[in-house]
């Protein structure tokens, strides 16, 4: 999930409307203008819908090369710098683009358009038109199924934390409320930075109210589970991946954004905890869900996150298969070799499975990799680390924080190793 959406400048003005150029005609002035405008807009589309920097720069460089021009792309989460050399002319463009969470279906469609353009199956004019249609198309899932998926994801996390039935239901209710808050913020608010502290406050105050007035629950467990769709675990993993492959500016920016997001979530929750401190009364014993419920939750999780990331139903079998492969490897290795080796092995399995899907189906590996990885990323550990710090448990907070970074690096290592063992035939 992500914050507010703002309109971005349209790079197509006075360019594509004046040219029907095809890739084989880059020598005319109108052809050059059309190619440059197309490269700018295509990069913005990939940027806007969550493509990591190392993938975006590689795929756009390949597209530019196929069109007979030399281009350099520099991408950070909020800025896109493009330098295009076409003959004796060089054009440098800077665009401010708000990066959003991964939108699997739109990336899938954009990759299909770019692939056809590279193979010469469509003209630049047709590709440009299709990219505009993709950008302005409605979400794959309307708000109601999306909100239900968010609530389901929150219930899954509460189950994996061995919460009671009451805690699972409370987490689902809070997840539904958070989805409503996000949708309201998208439509009516002008300040995107308020989404996370408000969500943290609402999740914490509702958890405390349920514990006090409805049924005894562990309010902090429920708060954490209710915020799972906003926790930046995937951002943290992507940031470390970008740093590992040498994209330092994008990696540092994304890492800083993930840390600030965690702090703003905790800020809202901390205000609620101080405001309603007398309500907190955790019962000594809470009946936890059994192991079989955890496996049911793990079976449901891939489908819930597939909807959250807007993956179509035709892609669900691949997402489910790769996700379950990662889960089975994680659960099998963890008891014998520890969480670090288990995380590395699970990410390796997910990466290899995603790359095999990309090779056999000719589709982007991100389609199945992203929903599968969200189950493995350590966003909840980072939140717990900050909670420990807030409670003046400094040593415990540092230990949990270090463990979070270690788990994230193991996931990154597994993904990088998978790309070496099973190179995908699609960059995305």
Quote the pLDDT of residue 22: 38
Taking each helix axis as running N to C, give the angle between helix 195-213 and helix 165-188, from 0 to 180 degrees, rounded to the nearest 10. Answer: 150
Domain that holds residue 343: 311-428
- Tell me, yes or no, whether 302 lies in a domain: no
pLDDT digits (tens, 9 = 90+) for 156-165: 988 888 888 8
Q: In the Cβ-directed half-sphere of 295, how many Cα atoms lie within 13 Å?
A: 5
Quote the pLDDT of residue 28: 42
- Tell me, yes or no, whether 11 lies in a domain: no
pLDDT digits (tens, 9 = 90+) for 343-380: 999 999 999 999 999 888 888 888 888 888 888 887 66
Report how many domains make up the chain: 3
Average pLDDT (393-398) is: 84
Q: Which residues pair with 83 in a beta bridge?
A: 72, 92
pLDDT digits (tens, 9 = 90+) for 62-85: 888 888 888 888 888 888 888 888
Choosing from 104, 136, 168, the residue where a domain stops is 136
| pLDDT of residue 101 exceeding 80 | no
- Tell me, yes or no, whether 252 lies in a domain: yes
| pLDDT of residue 57 exceeding 50 | yes
Q: Are 338 and 400 in contact (CB under 8 A)?
A: no
pLDDT digits (tens, 9 = 90+) for 277-319: 777 766 655 555 667 888 888 899 999 999 998 888 888 999 9
pLDDT digits (tens, 9 = 90+) for 12-51: 333 333 333 333 344 444 467 888 889 888 988 888 888 8
Average pLDDT (239-260) is: 88
Q: Kindly state the percentage of the chain with pLDDT values over 70.
A: 88
The verdict on 84 and 56 lying in the same domain is yes
**How far is it, in rounded angstroms, from Cα 341 to Cα 27?**
54
The verdict on 345 and 416 lying in the same domain is yes
**How far is it, in rounded angstroms, from Cα 33 to Cα 201?**
50
């Amino acid at each position: 999930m992500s914050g507010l959406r703002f309109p971005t400048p349209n790079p197509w003005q006075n360019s594509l409307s004046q040219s029907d150029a095809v890739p084989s005609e880059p020598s005319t002035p109108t052809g050059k203008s059309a190619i440059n405008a197309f490269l700018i807009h295509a990069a913005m589309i990939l940027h806007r819908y969550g493509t990591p920097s190392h993938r975006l720069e590689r795929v756009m460089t390949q597209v530019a090369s196929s069109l007979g021009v030399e281009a350099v792309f520099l991408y950070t989460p909020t800025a896109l710098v493009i330098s295009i050399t076409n003959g004796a002319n060089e054009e440098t463009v800077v665009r401010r683009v708000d990066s959003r969470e991964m939108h699997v279906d739109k990336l899938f469609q954009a990759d299909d358009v770019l692939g056809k353009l590279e193979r010469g199956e469509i003209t630049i004019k047709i590709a440009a038109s299709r990219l505009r249609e993709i950008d302005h198309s409605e979400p794959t899932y309307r708000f109601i199924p999306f909100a239900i998926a968010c609530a389901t994801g929150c219930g899954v996390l509460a189950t994996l934390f061995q919460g009671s039935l009451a805690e699972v239901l409370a987490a689902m209710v809070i997840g539904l409320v958070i989805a409503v808050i996000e949708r309201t913020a998208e439509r009516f608010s002008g300040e995107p930075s308020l989404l996370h502290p408000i969500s943290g406050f609402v999740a914490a105050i509702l958890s405390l109210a349920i514990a006090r007035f409805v049924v005894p629950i562990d309010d902090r467990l429920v708060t954490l589970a209710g915020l799972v769709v906003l926790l930046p675990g995937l951002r943290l993993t992507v940031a470390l991946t970008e740093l590992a492959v040498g994209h330092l500016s994008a990696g540092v920016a994304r890492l800083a954004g993930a840390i600030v997001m965690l702090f703003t979530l905790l800020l809202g929750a901390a205000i609620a905890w101080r405001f309603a401190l007398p309500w907190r009364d955790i019962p000594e014993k809470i009946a936890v869900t059994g192991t079989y419920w955890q496996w049911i939750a793990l079976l449901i999780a891939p489908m819930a996150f597939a909807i959250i990331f807007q993956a179509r139903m035709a892609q669900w079998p691949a997402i489910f298969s790769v996700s379950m492969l990662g889960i089975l490897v994680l659960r099998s290795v963890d008891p014998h070799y520890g969480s670090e080796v288990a995380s590395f092995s699970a990410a390796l399995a997910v990466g290899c499975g995603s790359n095999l899907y990309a090779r056999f189906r000719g589709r982007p590996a991100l389609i199945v990799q992203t929903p599968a990885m969200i189950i493995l990323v350590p966003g909840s550990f980072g939140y717990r680390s900050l909670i420990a710090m807030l409670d003046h448990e400094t040593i415990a907070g540092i230990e949990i924080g270090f463990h979070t970074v270690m788990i994230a690096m193991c996931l990154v290592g597994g993904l990088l190793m998978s790309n070496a063992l099973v190179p995908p035939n699609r960059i995305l």
